[in-house]
Structure 1
Amino acid sequence: MSVQRNSINNNERKKERFSSTGFILAAIGSSVGLGNMWKFPYITGENGGAAFFLLFIVCLIIIGLPVLLAELAIGRSGRGSAATAFVRVGGRRGWKSLGILQVLAPFLILSFYIIVAGWTLHYAVSAFSGNLFSNPDFEGQFAQFISGYMPLVWQLVALLITGGVVILGISGGIEKFNKILIPSLVVLLIVLMIRAVTLPGAEAGVSFFLNPDFSQLTAESALVALGHAFFSLSLGMGILLTYGSYVRKEQSLGSATLAIGAGDLIYAFIAGLIIFPTTFSFGIAPDQGPSLVFIALPAAFSAMPLGSFFGGLFFILLAIAALTSSVSLLEVPVSYTMERFRWSRARSVWILVGLLFLIGVPSALSLGMVPELTFGGKAFFDWVDFITSNIMLPVGGLAITIFAGYFWKGAAEASGLRAGWFRVWLFMLRYVAPILVFLVLLHTTGVIKF
């Protein structure tokens, strides 16, 4: 019975493959998350507007794309979960522990990310129903919301949607989901961008975003740009290793890497053309993190014509971005449990969804209902975020660069690059990316300060 079950699970995995377009859309979906809507405007505003954006593009090219290609190549060659990919392509068994780190990281990230995804769903429903804009005290509304039990309800709703997509598999679930939502995301981005740039006083926001001020760039700006380029592409968290295992052999990984990078860049650019014109038009500082999205921007939408409609569209946009990312985060541990424990996809999904909800409860409660869940000045939510984003992900990315650059003998064939481009790629992986990722790690953990 055990042998038969193992055979069924192996066959099930072998049949799961992305189409070429579906893979690129799914990978773009993993990178277009909530961070580009509230983090990107904040760090861009602090570091010279367009000057920082240009620096971000450079960092995306020199660190993001080489590591992205390495993850995809290892994933496709290994044809397994993120935990076993290194070993399956010829690495020693010691590399498996770093692979397991890249399974644990997205699982923990999803435990708190899904909470904010639930907030976006709540705000989308509240905006279209008119409840959000019936009370002008948006700060009070947000405080009341996160202090009650409703965040747990919406957290569960977001988890069930995510699980419902992943349980349908790669082509029937994740690919179809992204084929519908990513084009919808593009339409919403364009509609909201047009509304933003035509607001009274929007010119100042557009000018700030598109006119570079290189005098504001510092050494810290470079590290911040490196970190954002790294994290915005979902590097170091096992997603692209896992998605790579479902890529067909005839898919050009080089072309896919460029397409994914371009998608992430365009999303960040349009996000800037939504946030900056809106904030400048209504005199809002774009450096408020989550409060920008859930407090300041609702106030702006309430003051503009058809604000309820555009506010609703904005929160649907956020919900789509959150859910496409949460789906990719869940697939990583699902792939691992299917491989490690020989569970069916359905069993893996529902067990993990249950665990994620339970683990996420302390994070949700620490933000309002039970503020006592605070240690060393940080809420439980913030600690999980800090450990995963600032430590686990850079370590995972560093492992990718070192393995692909120094230990992987099959890198040339797996990358599919021509000889000249392969030498450039290998040079970046050996001598540039590891140093820069290590600097990002030192910066995010506070070892390097300016």
Structure 2
Amino acid sequence: MTTPPKNPAASGKKDQFSSAGFILAAIGSSVGLGNMWKFPYITGQNGGAAFFLLFIVCLIVIGLPVLLAELAIGRAGRGSAATSFVKAGGSKMFGRLGLLQVIAPFLILTFYVIVAGWTLHYAVQSFSGHLFSNPDFKGQFNTFIGGYMPIVWQAIAILITGIVVVKGISGGIEKFNKVLIPGMIILLIVMMIRAVSLPGAGEGVAFFLKPDFSKLTPESALVALGHAFFSLSLGMGILLTYGAYVDKRQPLGTATIAIGAGDLIYAFVAGLIIFPTTASFGIEPDSGPSLVFIALPAAFSAMPFGAFFGGLFFVLLAIAALTSAVSLLEVPVTYLMDRWKWGRTKSVVVISVFVLLIGLPSALSFGIVPGLSAMGSKNFFDWLDFITSNILLPVGGLITTIFAGYFWKGAAEAAGLKSGWFRVWLFMLRYVAPILVLLVLLDTTGILKLK
């Protein structure tokens, strides 16, 4: 009697997620730095709870319908973010347009692994105690990102990411998320409890939970929509690619709600960590992406065993970043495997090398290279973040909504929705999401300015 092969490819079966593994991997893609690093400071800039409510509306009205469409297209096409449109029944034009959803995650990954490297560095500094030897946490952070060491940590981050992706879907990405996401959630809850119990934390909680609609602007709507796309990993081919590895028996509607809920809960917990901490230590909640690298070390320094818990938290924050990095890397890797028939190892190595090289300008744009740190109102890193988040991702989402809403004859069967919910979903894809996304694009390109 022979033992059946454990490798799916060896048995003729496509490597794919289990039901629970898929949901965890999709949540792992969304609960990265987007909600812990980016969400708190853009919330602080736009008035706290009022912006959070606006974000929820964008998530439900636009995010979830597009998310379901991406999953359905991916599962129906069983290919990469570019080829699935054609394999699902679309024209070659959509295949070419879908290539944008391969380019976008690649560009995002070039600067995303840089911040993942920052978190790894902070974990080491915290465990060693060096992070708390100098109370000037802002100065420490600026000195670090303004040097060459971020390049080393950038390389380490892409190496870890590549090792996971090389092992495949079930053996790499799924196992990575199954082990690390539950542990991360537990420690985030512990950190939330610790944050809200800090002296003066009530002011931060009130800022986060008490809406001030007078501070909302049309720009706030643009930022909320952009972050809904970014935090759910929409328009960048991730969920479309993951959908290609989902079992056909997996209810996509249920998975969509679970992924959206996971993203929202993570954002909420992130707010209840950051804002009470900033209030307790007198830090402005709109001080930029460095917020998490300044506020949290201050909190850890004031608590018993702060070096240990701080190190553990930054390890888990790095894990959150790396789960997203893994999903970003999988998109271009799947494209090379699907389009050019390359092996997984070769695809991972080639993409990883290019990510590292093209990411160098972003890593060097915090003061060490003046030409990269002063490019108008932003540095190179911030420009790349702005272009991908506010232009490429909405364009990718627009392509998905137009295809699923108007051109895809198999949408009803692929989505697996009952007739009533299908009509609602189709209405959102045809008449609501495209219009709002188009308004964002017109505003970001300067063709139309929202007043």
Tell me, yes or no, if the aligned pair for 1:34 and 1:322 is still in contact at 8 Å. Answer: yes
Q: Provide the C-alpha distance between the structure 2 equivalents of 1:33 and 1:60, rounded to a whole number of angstroms.
A: 16
CA deviations over 1:220-248 (Å, ceiling 9, x no partner): 33333222222210100000110000000
> Which residue of structure 2 aligns with residue 212 of structure 1?
211
Deviates more, 1:130-139 or 1:306-315: 306-315
Deviates more, 1:167-176 or 1:194-203: 194-203
> Which residue of structure 1 aligns with residue 385 of structure 2?
385
Question: What secondary structure sits across from 1:15 in the alignment?
Answer: coil
1:286-435 matches, within 5 Å, as 286-373=285-372, 376-377=375-376, 378-435=378-435
Q: 1:396 to 1:13 in 2, by over 3 A?
A: farther
1:265-284 matches, within 5 Å, as 265-284=264-283
Tell me, yes or no, if the aligned pair for 2:274 and 2:295 is still in contact at 8 Å. Answer: no
Q: Provide the C-alpha distance between the structure 2 equivalents of 1:12 and 1:330, rounded to a whole number of angstroms.
A: 26
Deviates more, 1:20-29 or 1:148-157: 148-157
Q: Which amino acid aligns with 2:126?
A: A
Q: Are positions 1:109 and 2:108 aligned together?
A: yes
Q: 1:213 to 1:372 in 2, by over 3 A?
A: closer
CA deviations over 1:140-165 (Å, ceiling 9, x no partner): 32232223321111111101100000
Question: What secondary structure sits across from 1:212 in the alignment?
Answer: coil
Q: Which runs of 5+ in 2 are unaligned?
A: 1-6
Q: Provide the C-alpha distance between the structure 2 equivalents of 1:21 and 1:134, rounded to a whole number of angstroms.
A: 43
Tell me, yes or no, if the aligned pair for 1:114 and 1:155 is still in contact at 8 Å. Answer: yes
Tell me, yes or no, if the aligned pair for 2:36 and 2:270 is still in contact at 8 Å. Answer: yes
Q: Which amino acid aligns with 1:278?
A: T
1:173-322 matches, within 5 Å, as 173-322=172-321
> Which residue of structure 2 aligns with residue 437 of structure 1?
437
> Which residue of structure 1 aligns with residue 53 of structure 2?
54
Residue 96 of structure 1 deviates from its aligned partner by 1.3
> Which residue of structure 1 aligns with residue 159 of structure 2?
160
CA deviations over 1:55-99 (Å, ceiling 9, x no partner): 222221110100000000000000000110111111111111111
Q: 1:193 to 1:374 in 2, by over 3 A?
A: closer
> Which residue of structure 1 aligns with residue 4 of structure 2?
none
Q: TM-score, normalised to structure 1's length?
A: 0.94
Question: What secondary structure sits across from 2:329 in the alignment?
Answer: helix
Q: Provide the C-alpha distance between the structure 2 equivalents of 1:441 and 1:14, rounded to a whole number of angstroms.
A: 41
> Which residue of structure 2 aligns with residue 30 of structure 1?
29
Residue 300 of structure 1 deviates from its aligned partner by 3.7
Tell me, yes or no, if the aligned pair for 2:41 and 2:287 is still in contact at 8 Å. Answer: yes
Question: What secondary structure sits across from 1:247 in the alignment?
Answer: coil
CA deviations over 1:365-388 (Å, ceiling 9, x no partner): 222332323574243323322322
Residue 296 of structure 1 deviates from its aligned partner by 3.9
> Which residue of structure 1 aligns with residue 122 of structure 2?
123
Tell me, yes or no, if the aligned pair for 1:366 and 1:373 is still in contact at 8 Å. Answer: yes
> Which residue of structure 1 aligns with residue 449 of structure 2?
448
Tell me, yes or no, if the aligned pair for 1:22 and 1:175 is still in contact at 8 Å. Answer: yes
Question: What secondary structure sits across from 1:29 in the alignment?
Answer: helix
Identity %: 77
Q: Which amino acid aligns with 1:275?
A: I
Q: Which amino acid aligns with 1:18?
A: F
Q: TM-score, normalised to structure 2's length?
A: 0.93
Residue 12 of structure 1 deviates from its aligned partner by 8.9
Deviates more, 1:405-414 or 1:148-157: 148-157
Residue 120 of structure 1 deviates from its aligned partner by 0.6
Q: Provide the C-alpha distance between the structure 1 equivalents of 2:64 and 2:8, rounded to a whole number of angstroms.
A: 33
Q: Provide the C-alpha distance between the structure 1 equivalents of 2:268 and 2:356, rounded to a whole number of angstroms.
A: 33
Q: Provide the C-alpha distance between the structure 2 equivalents of 1:60 and 1:322, rounded to a whole number of angstroms.
A: 21
Residue 256 of structure 1 deviates from its aligned partner by 0.3
Q: Which amino acid aligns with 1:360?
A: G
Q: Provide the C-alpha distance between the structure 2 equivalents of 1:142 and 1:282, rounded to a whole number of angstroms.
A: 17
Question: What secondary structure sits across from 1:366 in the alignment?
Answer: coil
Q: Which amino acid aligns with 1:434?
A: P
Residue 320 of structure 1 deviates from its aligned partner by 1.5
Deviates more, 1:229-238 or 1:367-376: 367-376
CA deviations over 1:10-47 (Å, ceiling 9, x no partner): 87995211000000000001111212123322232344
> Which residue of structure 1 aligns with residue 3 of structure 2?
none
CA deviations over 1:393-414 (Å, ceiling 9, x no partner): 1111110011100000100110
Q: Are positions 1:151 and 2:153 aligned together?
A: no
Question: What secondary structure sits across from 1:290 in the alignment?
Answer: coil
Residue 449 of structure 1 deviates from its aligned partner by 5.0
Q: Which amino acid aligns with 2:97?
A: L
> Which residue of structure 2 aligns with residue 4 of structure 1?
none
CA deviations over 1:338-379 (Å, ceiling 9, x no partner): 112211111111111111111112221222332323574243
Q: Provide the C-alpha distance between the structure 2 equivalents of 1:428 and 1:210, rounded to a whole number of angstroms.
A: 29
Q: 1:442 to 1:313 in 2, by over 3 A?
A: farther
Deviates more, 1:177-186 or 1:142-151: 142-151
Question: What secondary structure sits across from 1:236 in the alignment?
Answer: coil
Tell me, yes or no, if the aligned pair for 2:229 and 2:393 is still in contact at 8 Å. Answer: no
Question: What secondary structure sits across from 2:247 in the alignment?
Answer: coil
Tell me, yes or no, if the aligned pair for 2:43 and 2:51 is still in contact at 8 Å. Answer: yes
Q: 1:135 to 1:165 in 2, by over 3 A?
A: same
Question: What RMSD over aligned residues (CA atoms) do the two structures have, in Å?
Answer: 2.0
Q: Provide the C-alpha distance between the structure 2 equivalents of 1:91 and 1:368, rounded to a whole number of angstroms.
A: 47
Deviates more, 1:197-206 or 1:295-304: 295-304
